[in-house]
A and B are shown apart, each in its own frame.
Chain A
Amino acid sequence: MRRKRLVLPLLLFPGGGYLLVFFGVPLFLAVMGGFGLYNIAGDNSFTLEHYRKLLVVREFRDGLILTLYLAFTSTGLGLVVSVPLAAMLQLNFVGKKAFNAIYKVPLVVPSVVAAFLVLTFIDRGGMTSRALALVNIDMPKMVRDRWAIGVLIAMTWKSIPFMTLIIGGSMAGISKDVLHAARTLGARPLTVFLRMQIPLALPGITAATLLTFIGAMGAFVVPNLLGPVYPLPLSVHMYDNAFEFNEWGLVSAMGTIITLVSTAVLLTYYRLTRGAQRAFQAGH
């Protein structure tokens, strides 16, 4: 019995212990650093100055808004493509095996490369604008533009395979008999998609959404290369403040805010899924 009690901590130790040291400690330092405590370099006293700055300085406030805008929009666009794509991949079609491999290519393409592809392709003077110039259409500015369209394209492009993979996995788990039964009873394919496949694959859809959203909140490379000149997203501010101005407290405060937003979204998700699950069981 006593040996048994030792087994669990021993098993949890390698992975859990590693994360405790190399993730828990830095996270603790970051949260404390936002309040001016445990400062690695410099003075060490409690202050709300960094958070005040984040709320008052316009540059940072706009940065937070841009960060949220990028995360929400790119995740939304990713969903709009991935959910139907995942459903189509459940059908039989010619060349399915090949397509199954091809669509995952952006998964292995680094973000830096995705940014570069967008530059060559849709930047002014890039491929699309040259092709459109032949028919006398002027391309709107899509890189370093106000609405960060280039950033959104690159981030969405990169996130689609990951989302499709997870959502497709969920959809593959739905019993074929149920879907066939619905079809036999007269439901149209679109009805089956909207009223059966999407609700039954909801855990996968929400998981994919969350992971993409959280990743987009912290995205750094793509907004830095393709994003608007003003405002800069918080992730880029974090980098600048850490390495050019050595403002560790401010960096920590920004990191804490991004983490808090992500956590809030995650908690909302747990709340909602619990509610949905209950509603689903009640409907039975």
Chain B
Amino acid sequence: MNTKRKNWWLSLGLFGSALLALGLPLIVTALWSLIDPKVGWFAPDVIPRSFSTHFWQDTLRDPGIFRSMILSLVIATIVTAFSGALALPTAYALARIPFRAKRAVEIFVLAPLIVPGIIVGVALGTIFFRLKLVFSIPGVVLVQSVGTLPFMIRILSAALEGIPEDILLAARTLGAGPLQVARHLVVPLARPGFFAGGLLTFILSFEEFDKTFIVGAPLVQTLPIRLWKFLGGQLIIFPNAAVVTFLLIVPMLLIFFLAERILKEDVLAAGMGKL
């Protein structure tokens, strides 16, 4: 009885803080996106005097925004698939094959997380400039993958460590070739790892700013870069920025809440829980 009552308080406290820290900012942003351009929203008004869908229509009518949305989703998808494909063999070697320089390789794989994105972006940008990869989608995919690959390798290798050796040996004894084992056993059994790593990669790519900005802008305009233009310019256009904010968050939340049901959190935590 006693513990039950205490836990109600815990729920109340947690959900209360979540409302304050997460709900309120989003509500304020929603209000900003719905203000009436003729009336505006000035201090001391806590709530706008009149509402309109003007800025939503205005923003959604801009074909550039729609193109940015598609572009962000396409780039995130390609980066996820690319990182997954590159990471699998390396993760397998790190998880299951003992070799001498393993610790060194592990640290090297983590190293991109230690070096600021700007330095990788600027250095790769100048190289890509010569290779004519700068301001292009392939260039952006390549530079983003530097940041996502370490996470993918770590998480996949944590998932692969959990596969019992016996199963793989049994399959080999029964005549399966290495590629068959990889296709029919390793990949399906590593699915929770692919899922957790893929979700994280997708999110990281969708919200990536520094490297994308340096290598891709102004020609490759993902959604975060478009939002930046509303915020970083001479005058801040709050209502437009508020609409773009929702365009950025809503697809992420949808994907996230759908994925949350099948996401095995322990895989994610196991991959990053030790350095």
Quote the shortest CB–CB distance from B137 to chain A (angstroms): 16
Whether the pair B115, A259 counts as a contact (CB closer than 8 A) is yes
Task: Decide: A235 near B116, CB < 8 A? Known: A25-B127, A116-B227, A116-B241.
Answer: yes
Binds B, one of A6-14, A53-61, A72-80, A174-182: A6-14
Show 24 A/B contacts (Cβ-Cβ < 8 Å), sorted by A: A14-B87, A16-B108, A18-B86, A19-B146, A22-B146, A26-B123, A101-B257, A107-B203, A108-B249, A111-B209, A113-B224, A116-B227, A116-B231, A127-B24, A127-B46, A166-B273, A172-B269, A206-B275, A214-B113, A215-B113, A220-B210, A242-B118, A259-B116, A263-B114
Question: Is the Cβ of B274 less than 8 Å from the Cβ of A207?
Answer: yes
Nearest 3 CB-CB pairings of A with B = A169-B269, A218-B116, A15-B90
**B residues near A, CB below 8 A?**
7-8, 10-11, 14-15, 18, 21-22, 24-26, 28-29, 32, 43-46, 85-93, 97, 99, 105, 108-109, 111-120, 122-124, 126-127, 142-143, 145-146, 149-150, 153, 203, 206-207, 209-210, 214, 223-224, 227-228, 231-232, 236, 238, 241-242, 245, 248-249, 252-253, 255-257, 260, 265-266, 268-270, 272-275
Roughly how many angstroms separate A118 CA and B25 CA in the complex, as a whole number? 8
Report chain B residues within 8 Å CB of A113: 224, 227, 245, 248-249
Contacts of A269 in B (CB 8 A): 275
Partner of B14, one of A10, A88, A112, A221: A88
Is A224 among interface residues, defined by CB-CB distance under 8 A? Answer: yes
Question: What number of residue pairs across chains A and B have CB atoms under 8 A from each other?
Answer: 280
Interface contact A27-B46, CB-CB below 8 Å: no
**Chain B residues with Cβ under 8 A from A15's Cβ?**
86-87, 89-91, 109, 149, 153
Query: Chain A interface secondary structure, helix, strand, loop or mixed?
Result: helix
Task: From known contacts A108-B252, A121-B25, infer whether A92 and B7 are also in contact, taking CB-CB under 8 Å.
Answer: yes
Q: How far is the CA of A197 from the CA of B140 in the complex (A)?
A: 42
B93–A8 CB distance below 8 A:
yes
Which chain B positions have C-beta within 8 A of A157? Answer: 21
Q: List, in ascending order, chain A residues with CB within 8 A of B113's CB.
A: 211, 214-215
